[in-house]
Structure 1
Amino acid sequence: MSNKWSEKAAGVWESAARKIKNLAPAKIASGDPSGQGPGKSSVPALKAVGTKLFVIFFLSILVAVVIVGTLSYRTSRNVVEEEVSKAAQQTVIQTGEKLDFLFRTYEKMSLDIMIDKTVGASVDQLARPNNSDSDIAIARMNLDSNLKKYSQTDENLAGIYVIPLTEKGIPTGYGQEKLIQENAALIKSVKEADGKAVWFDSKINGYFTQLSFPTFGVARVMKNDYGQSNYMVLLEIKTDYLYNQLSSIRVGQTGRIEAMNTKQQLTVTEKADHIGQAAQVKLEGQLQDQGRTKADVNGEQNLIVYTKSKQTGWLIYGYAPLDEITEKANGIFALTVWVAIISALLAVVVGWLMSRMIGKPLVELGHLMNEGEKGNLAVRTLFTQRQDEIGQVGKSFNGMMSKITDLVNQTNRSADSVLETARELTDASKKTALSAREIATATEDIAGGATSLAVAAENGNDLTTKISEQMKYVIEKNIRMSIATSEVQQMSERGIEQMDELTQKTMQSEQMTHSLVDRVDTLKQSTSSIRKILDVLTKITAQTNILSLNASIEAARAGAAGKGFMVVAGEIRNLADQSRESIVNVAHITEEIQREMDATVEALSAAYPLFREQTESVKEANQMFSSVKNEMDNLLIQLDEVSTSINELNESQMTLADAMTNVSAVAEQSSATSEEVASLSSEQQSVSEGLVRLSVKLEDVSSQLSESLTKFKV
């Protein structure tokens, strides 16, 4: 016991020393409470607890300030970006609606020109076949005069042109043939629109006249009063007009608004020579009628807001750099940086103070623990006057040292007592081992006899088990025989019922056959009556035919007055002929029925004896089933008697099996108890011998403990 207390005290000292001696570097003399002296133990500065507290406090404040500042900056940046995006999108939508209004104005102008009677008359005059050159010149002059009243009302119109839809058509202007060929695809699209307005994208030098500035246009087919489409009207509008509408609107400080077609080619932009080129802004995916997104423009992230023109299908979009839009949020970022710097300086000061207040006492405590590890139990702390946790640790340390000193003294006294007790225990253990050896020998003899009895009981139990299995087999076969006999009895009863029903059915069939023969005889008599009636009808038909012939002769003698009667006589003769043919057909059918009835009577007459024989056979089978049923009833009675005897025999056998099982169980229990006693005796002998060895060892350990306790300074 003293050795365990000594090992436990040493383990506590070693564990406490390992945890505390690495807190901070210090020097302390053995047995000096002030901590000064030749004893040395050092901890690296970076691993000192004061340094760790300083770093944790500094990083906690700095990280908290940086996280809060960063979140504030990002939140304000997102809010600014969202508000500017909404305002820019609303501006672009309003601009798109304004442009759609302008586009509808020009579509209306093209419609007015198309339905203008004077313009239509000039076009019809130009489209007439076999026109002379003077007629063509006059028609062109009239058309040009009629179109000027539209073009002069709008300075943004570059020109109004009437263009033939086919190559055979006569151009309305001089030198337009080549331009018409170049724009054949556009002319085809207008023709396919069949009177609807078709918008042309911006083109640098115009479409049907070489210009020094870009234009875009709207065109539609012109139909005459007959619905023919030979020409189209085209309004070319200056692209600068649209750019002037867009240039006054800005997205951010440096952003701008442009327009591009469905192929993302520029139609309205600041630089006219860029018209028709691919736009710098690339919008991917399926675009809605209006929206906003972000994309890279010249390597810089830009905010893009757009709307789609309902008239032209162009995309009017505005874009500006995101950094420019969120520039107002940069002040929050600068404020975050300054707050982080000030927080870092405050953390340095507070962290240094905390390391001095906590780290220094821990260093002193570590050196005192080192002295205690070396066996000096007289060391004590000097900072017990503090009212914080450090003071509580100092008081607890002093209390712990006092209790360890008392424990060492008590252990020393206990070691002497244990040494004396160990010597007495050795003598008692030797006597116990001798007695256990004698008990083990006697128990082995008892176990041998119990084992022989258990073997004999087991053999008797096996024989009883085999008899029980044979009885179960006989009982099972008897039950199966009873079931089979019951099934045969039930089948016999069902056979009797079926044979009774078959007898009744056979007798009914015999009666029905006899009745059928009688009815066929009655039908034969009826058929004979029908033949007599047919003979009478045949005679009547012949007389009617003769009467009609006589009537025809008399009508012929009467001349013109008897023509009507002759027609009636002819119809009567025809009816007589038809009646005669019908009577012949009915006679043939009646003869056929007569032959079939004769055959039926012969067949029924032949079947009647067979039904009689079948009825006798069924009655004999019914008697056989009745005999089988009676025999099965007798067999069931005998099987019941056999089953009763077998059950009584089985109960006797089960009683014998239970008795043999009890004998076997008692024998096995006796054998097991004997073996268990023998085992316990052997175990007691081993324990006694082990107890002797432990007593000797305890005596040696007590001596070693006394020597170890002499190393502590109390």
Structure 2
Amino acid sequence: MLKINTKNLFSKKYSKNEERKARHKGKTKRIRTVLFIAFAIPLMLIITLGTSAYQITSKAMVSKYEESTDSTMATMTLYLNSVFDNVKSRMAELVINENLNEYYNRYGKEFTLQSRDYYNSARDNFIALKSSLVYISDYSVFGEIGEAITSHDKTLPKSLYEDFKDKDEAKVFTESGNRKAWIGRHPYLDSITVSSDDRYAFSYVVKLQKNNGFIVIDIDKNFMEEVLNTMTFGNNSIKALVTGDGRIIAVQEKHHEDGKIDSKSWEPNNDFSTAIQSTLDAKEIGSTSITYQGEKWLLEYSPIGSTGIMLYSLIPSDVIMKDVNQVRNLTVIVIIFGLIIVGVIGIKLSSDISNELLTTCNSLTTVSQGDLRVEFKTKRKDEFHMLNISMNDMISNIRNLISGMKMFTDRVKNSAEGVVEVTSQVHNTMNNVSKSVDGILEGVIIQAGDTEQCANKMSDLSNSLNAIYENSQQMNETADKTLQTISTGQIMVEELNNKTQDTVSVTENLISEIMQVQKKTDNIREIIQYINNIADNTNLLSLNASIEAARAGEYGRGFAVVAEEIRKLADQSKQFSNQISIIIEDIGNVIKKTVTSAEKTGEHMLVQVSSLEDTNKVFNSINDQVSSLVGSLKLMQGSMTEMILSKENILDDICNTSSVSEESAAVSQESGDMIKKQLMSIALLTDEADRLKVEVKKLEESMCHFVIE
């Protein structure tokens, strides 16, 4: 039996939605927060990348700077070493010079022309030496004998050798036995030559071949400072040459705002001496980080050959980190601007998306409440525009679907009302048929009784015939009674024939009306097929809606609920149509059985009509015979014997008539039972049609929840 319950179909769902909203109230994350966090993560990665890049860059740049400084220091060391080697090689040539040795070993004891020639020749060699080597500022040659050779304007005393070898600057020779050495200062010689150590940076001192004199070659201080200036390490960087005896020649580099770079002599202090103390004995080039005057500095050092002189460069960390700091500052500025830009873009984007989604959610909430007049609007030209177009198309399709469903419910309602009306008509007709069949049954029963009575009468007639010989008067009376009985039988048979004809007509009408019901049933099947097509299209539409809702993500869940409800409604409609199909199929089967029974009833009725006609003929024959008997009563005596013989035939005919009457009664009883069954089936069909009408009304009330206009 079809059972459909659509009561509160949507109200329950809406109450569930309200409960769900209340349960999640206060727990919903704003997309602005999510997007901000999403933007913050790459920003943190960018900051981490910038920090890591700065650290790696700083290390690389410091390393490259140190490598560049080391390269510059190495190049300068090679250059200075070549300079000093050139001085040493030239001095080695002069030390073994014949004129020089002859003069200071033998001819210098007294003044002669020959000694003057050796002296002049030796002096010319030194003059040529100074003119060829621009980095030599002065020279002095003095021995135990002979006059001193010097580039100074002051004439040196003859006792200079004896006085010099006892001074501090000569101890490097007298105490260690060295024949040559680089010294930073020779104050005693400066006092004799009335000169100052500002003229030279350091001096190369060599003993004469027989250790009876010294050659002192001063290296020009200005030249050394210019050489140091060729090394550019940055503002405030210090470049210095330190001799083994502690003489420091240093310059400090200065960078001006106009882009000019200059250097000037720099007087070292105790902090500098302390800072380089640990590197004075270094045997190879190197670098270290030191703290000088409270700041970090890079100290580069390199020994210059075997001279004992060290080349130093002292570079502030600020200079080294200048480019690194520029990278750091640029990175910080880019990150700050990135943060600002990303923040503004993120806030703007998240606000726009949040507003669009909130608007869409509000519209979807209105749709979920049944109002399908909502139109999704947006000013955006991106995916939201496409989403709104898709949702508008979907809402339009849903409106069309709901409109079609309403039209369908109207048609089903009209069909149900038509079915109710037809079944009522059929029910009334079947009631009339049942009453007619009951009347026929009563007539047949009466006919059977009359036939039996006729048989009894014929038996009496036989007795009368047997007694006719004795009492003809009694035969006349019996004949009169027989005529009356035959008249009554004829009337009853005629009435039974008429009722049978009515039964046949009613049966034909019943079959015709049942065929109309079958046509209506076929129409209902077409409507059910239309319902199934609508349900299938609704399922496809709800599937597309679910896909669109899934694309919308979190904010498409409300629309997914609507799509799910539509899908359930389509499934229920399909279930209802399937149940109706089953009912219609049952009705069709019942109708087929009814048609078959009605056709059988018609056939029996035709047989009954034929039997009644035969009975009527028999009664007519009896009437004729009895009339003839009454008319020829006088002749009856003569043919009495023949009548007695035909008595048995008449009794057989009457028995046959009684049998036919009994069969007609049985057929009428069977027809009555079948008609009652048909009445029960039609009553069931009427009940189902009434239920369908009620359920359609409920469906119509549920559909009225949606507003489409």
Higher RCO (C-alpha 8 Å, min separation 6): 1
Which has the larger Rg? 2
Q: TM-score, normalised by structure 2?
A: 0.38
Q: TM-score, normalised by structure 1?
A: 0.38
